[in-house]
Structure 1
Amino acid sequence: MINLNEKKQFFLSNNSYSLISLMIPVGVIVFLLAAGFSYLLKKNVNKPQELLAVSGAEKVKAQQRESKPSPNYLKEEQEEQDKQEYPKLKEGITIKKDWKAESVLVKDHKTGKILLSKNIHKQHPLASITKLMSALVLLNSIDDWNKRITVATNDMPDSLVDSGEIYSASQLWSASLIGSSNKSIFSLVDSLNWPKQAFLQRMNKKAQDLQMKDTYFAGVTGLNKESISTAEDISLLLNEVMKHKKIQQPLTTEEIKLKPINQQETNHVWNTDWLLLGWIPNKLGRIYGGKTGHIEAAGYNFTVQVSDKQGHVLDIVVLGAKNHEARFKVAREAARWVFDNYKWQE
């Protein structure tokens, strides 16, 4: 017969065994769950870094795709480069250099490209081309174009106006640019009542502003041989004056009648540009305006803006031609040569 204590001990022994048996598989399950959770945790922690690395690589590739020029872009860039090359010499043509003048320059007005040149950096007396710069300074200095001005008394050579005659500022302006009147331009400057050097300083300052690096003005008429420039600098001056209608219009006026306010006699004034007048046949499309100049030290100078019938515009400078007609003929022939031997982007 089993007593009570033995039964109790038997019961406890059996239950402990059962609990131990139960705890073994539970522990295994917990271990496996913990290991799996740890693995998943590590995997999830690394995943954003992997995604970041992938997205970064894709971003670089995208940037490379964006930075790579498209075929259309390359085509447009090539077309732009081709345009910058125009006007260009036709195949097999060599630029002519034998021109009967000290300096010759032909420049494409639109691009600024020099198409023909001879001694374009050589300094040369300006003569009456000086009046273009005088006009630029006067343009912003004269307030009243109807103002009456008495022609200054001096010994300057002039066949258009005489000392003591009275004209309006507008009349003297026209005589200066159409007929290249020395006394007219001098009287306009004199009417400002500025010190002589003040006006010259403005002329030379304007030259600096226009990048005319080899130019110096010593007078307002061009009679002074110390007023010097180069063909390249003069092309810059021509380009600037053509922007101002007040200057450009007289340069394209063939003739005017000039009557002093205090006299009855009327003078007939012809433009000094014989290409404009047609006295030198040229068959050019259009003459936009030009200016002549002559003193003994300079020979015969001429600068002009012309076009062909297709509208291609040239800025031309001729310095030191041998005679009066030669400067116009050299300019005409230089223009013709360029139009015949260059091709433009159409």
Structure 2
Amino acid sequence: MKWKKCVFSFAVIFTLIASLSLINVSAEVPFEINAKSAILMDQSTGKILYEKNIHEALPPASVTKIMTMLLAMEAIDNERIALEDEVVISEYASSMGGTQLYLEPGEIKTVEELMKGIAIRSANDASVAIGEHIAGTEEMFVQMMNDRAKELGMENTNFINSNGLPAEGHATSAYDIALMSRELLKHDGVKGWLTTWMDTVIVGRKQSQQQLVNTNRLIRFYDGATGVKTGYTTDAKHCLSASATRGNNSFIAVVMASPSSQIRFEEASKLLDYGFANYNTVDIVKKNTSVGKIPVHKGKAMEIDGVVLEDLKVLVNKGDEDKVNKEVILPKYLEAPLIKGEKIGEVIITIDGAEVNRVDIVTPEEVKKASIFNILVRMFKGFTGN
């Protein structure tokens, strides 16, 4: 009897090992990327489609500026700063060196001019100037960067400065870069700068005109490119966060510590090509559109729409679009009062019967309880047919 139990146990263990082996084989990457770290992420859903050392903390060089631009766009959207704001360039900002606009101490530039310099030329002096304008000092702005990184779940990131110049301990990961790139691309206002190939800017006391050329050559040469940022230092080597959109599909490719500038663009293109060739995005529900009407008992409004707060999309393998099923779960009625944003149901998405996503349906507005007078008026109209 003991012998049979031993044989059975070995059989179970062997089966488990075989299963794990199959899982590992199926999870193997389909091709190699010539970089120390790389990731391909679906922009709509955040799903990871390719990974190589994606959580390894590495120096990001000027890819750092993605977070600088993100905080600037959030400050603009929250009306803490405005594109027309005049920024006095500090002596510290003008001393940055490296890739820059050659801003001079005391010179005045608008937020819009600084953002253009960051997004297109990757200007170190402009990055510090915008950070000082938002937070007061570079140190306080860097603290904001690290706080925002934590909020986004960037667990392998530590910023020391706002521009990515070499500094001990300044590091992030390919996964974390993809997260902040995805967040930045939610701001439509930044896309015009990110996709500009050439522009000009006036700088210095002599008001000389400088030509800006986008450091991200994919903007010119890759179909559908939408951003995001290059980076290079001796320690970081050649880094790139690249995004592109074709039709309904958007992807973010990150490569870190690639051996040359040419190779980083080739490898990012390879990742993006893989995404567009093999996956498709299915729209399920648009943000703030009704997924159904629900009667409201004793409310000033007799019914209310159920909405979702974000666009709901599902990424599938090409050819599997018809396998996506949407189930809307709503109550037969609701009782007033209702608070704006209150959960009232769910949308459940399945593919071949397996659940892949579930989001809340909420109220788009407040519904107050009806007064006796409201109810009597409603009853009267019901009797009279008016």
TM-score by length of 1: 0.66
Change (3 A) 1:183 1:97: same
Aligned to 1:120: 54
SS of the residue corresponding to residue 337 of structure 1 reads: helix
Verify: 1:185 aligned to 2:119, yes or no: no
Query: Contact conserved, 1:150 with 1:166, CA < 8 A, in 2?
Result: yes
d(CA) in 1 for partners of 2:205 and 2:30? Answer: 53
Aligned to 2:103: 162
| Residues 240-279 of structure 1 mapped to structure 2, 5 A cutoff | 240-260=183-203, 262-278=205-221
Q: CA deviation at 1:322?
A: 0.7
Q: Which is richer in strand?
A: 2
**Structure 1 segments (4+ residues) deviating >6 Å:** none
Query: Contact conserved, 2:240 with 2:255, CA < 8 A, in 1?
Result: yes
Aligned to 2:180: 237
d(CA) in 1 for partners of 2:152 and 2:138? Answer: 22
Task: Please identify, of 178-187 and 329-338, the stretch whose mean Cα deviation from structure 2 is larger.
Answer: 329-338
The amino acid across from 1:161 in the alignment is Y
Change (3 A) 1:289 1:158: closer
SS of the residue corresponding to residue 136 of structure 2 reads: coil
Query: Contact conserved, 1:130 with 1:227, CA < 8 A, in 2?
Result: no
Q: CA deviation digits over 1:227-273, x for unaligned, max 9? A: 21111111110110001123232111222110137433200101111
Change (3 A) 1:168 1:105: same
Task: Please identify, of 98-107 and 132-141, the stretch whose mean Cα deviation from structure 2 is larger.
Answer: 132-141
Verify: 1:223 aligned to 2:165, yes or no: yes
Q: CA deviation at 1:175?
A: 0.4
Q: Which is richer in helix?
A: 1
Gaps of 5+ in 2: 1-25, 280-316, 322-386
Percent identity over paired residues: 26
The amino acid across from 1:158 in the alignment is T
d(CA) in 2 for partners of 1:251 and 1:327? Answer: 18
Q: CA deviation at 1:303?
A: 0.5
Comparing both chains, which one has the higher relative contact order based on Cα–Cα distances under 8 Å and sequence gaps of 6 or more? 1
| Residues 284-299 of structure 1 mapped to structure 2, 5 A cutoff | 284=223, 286-299=224-237
Q: CA deviation digits over 1:119-161, x for unaligned, max 9? A: 1111111211111111222331752432333433314223532
SS of the residue corresponding to residue 132 of structure 1 reads: helix
The amino acid across from 2:61 in the alignment is A
d(CA) in 1 for partners of 2:243 and 2:96? Answer: 33
Aligned to 1:175: 117
Verify: 1:147 aligned to 2:88, yes or no: no
Q: CA deviation at 1:93?
A: 11
Change (3 A) 1:262 1:144: farther
The amino acid across from 1:330 in the alignment is E
Verify: 1:327 aligned to 2:261, yes or no: no
d(CA) in 2 for partners of 1:137 and 1:263? Answer: 31
d(CA) in 2 for partners of 1:224 and 1:94? Answer: 34
Query: Contact conserved, 1:150 with 1:163, CA < 8 A, in 2?
Result: no
d(CA) in 2 for partners of 1:127 and 1:273? Answer: 14
Change (3 A) 1:224 1:304: same
Q: In the comparison of the two structures, how many residue pairs are matched?
A: 249
Gaps of 5+ in 1: 1-91
Query: Contact conserved, 2:131 with 2:137, CA < 8 A, in 1?
Result: no
Q: CA deviation at 1:341?
A: 4.3
The amino acid across from 1:238 in the alignment is S
